[in-house]
Amino acid sequence: MSRTFETVGVVGLGTMGAGIAEVFARAGLAVVGVEVDAQALERGRGHVLRSTDRAVSRGRLSEAGRDEILGRIAFTGSLDDLRDADLVIEAIPEVMEYKRALFTDLDLVCKPEAVLATNTSSLSVTAIASFTARPGQVVGMHFFNPAPVMRLVEVVRTVATAGGVAEDVAELARRVGKTPVTVGDRAGFVVNRLLLGYLNHAASLLELGVASRDDIDAAMRLGAGLPMGPFALLDLIGLDVSHEVCEVLFEESRDRVHAPAPILRELVTAGLLGRKSGRGFHAHE
């Protein structure tokens, strides 16, 4: 019999986690959103508010609808509040030691039948599963930025994933309005493996002086029909995340399209991370 997911937990309410919490709440699920402290919780709530306010101002959502969405998300600083969750998705920073600590705790707190998912874009889901006593119920559930808008979810199954779990999580993705694709646990899965090679190549072209930032962005928007040029997209993803994904991809593939362009590292070192820090390749207000 397939699982039903009615209450979901989201741990980490940064750009991705808050967007994911909104997606579940919009679909009518009860959401428990967990952050480390009151300030981070307020920031997470702010992300959801801004996103839903934008939908209200565009006439896509009523004010009552927005309040209902917010009302379905319980914001908390305690992992203990995840004890009744049917599925918990982790969206904390991409540091394996943090994931180890969190998944060890989740395994203790969550009910035995709960599915534990990770939104990681660069780390091994298999390794994360191994931190728990329930590796059969651990999968990747990889959303794309901005989560409320992008329609894909990569469902990552590992060699340890039990039969039916990836299928049930794919069904959950459909229920919240996304299209799932199921992928194996290889660095970058499908989208990042293809996308980051291209984005990294764009950064190399810029460094080589082949064309200016704005001309490369315009070329790919107008010539290839993409919604954003590569530098606008790198800034949206975050240069720290992009650099990290390239490093992991290069380590596994040894394909030099993934060897991070030096300018990426330079910008990350300078703290110029893209939209989230106010400046990356472009300046953002």
Annotated catalytic sites, by residue? 121, 142, 154, 192
Residue with tokens 């009744």: 84
Q: Which residue do the tokens 């209902």 mark?
A: 68
The H or E element that residue 140 is part of is strand 138-142
Task: Measure the CA–CA gap between 96 and 107, rounded to whole angstroms.
Answer: 16
φ and ψ of 219, to 5 deg: -60, -45
| Residue with Cβ nearer ligand CAA (135 or 238) | 238
Position with the least CB separation from ligand CAA = 121
CB of 11 to ligand CAA, least distance (A): 17
Closest separation in Å from C-beta 206 to ligand CAA: 19
Alpha helices in the chain (DSSP H): 15-26, 38-57, 63-71, 96-109, 125-129, 165-175, 191-208, 213-224, 230-237, 239-253, 262-269
Q: Which is nearer to ligand CAA, 85 or 249 (CB)?
A: 249
Which residue matches tokens 């990042």? Answer: 192
Please state, in angstroms and rounded to a whole number, the distance separating the CA atoms of residues 196 and 194: 6
Q: How distant, in Å, are the alpha carbons of 27, 43, 84 from that of 164?
A: 22, 36, 21
Distance in Å, CB of 119 to ligand CAA, minimum: 8
**Residue 146, preceding bond cis, omega within 30 degrees?**
yes
The answer to whether the beta carbons of residues 24 and 31 sit under 8 Å apart is yes
Residue whose C-alpha is closest to residue 116's, from 104, 124, 223: 104
**Cα(150)–Cα(45) distance, integer angstroms:** 20
Q: Which residues bind ligand CAA (CB under 6 A)?
A: 51, 54-55, 58, 60, 121, 144-146, 148-150, 192, 195, 227-228, 233, 237, 241
Helix (H, G, I), strand (E, B) or coil at 83: coil
Which DSSP symbol is given to 161? P
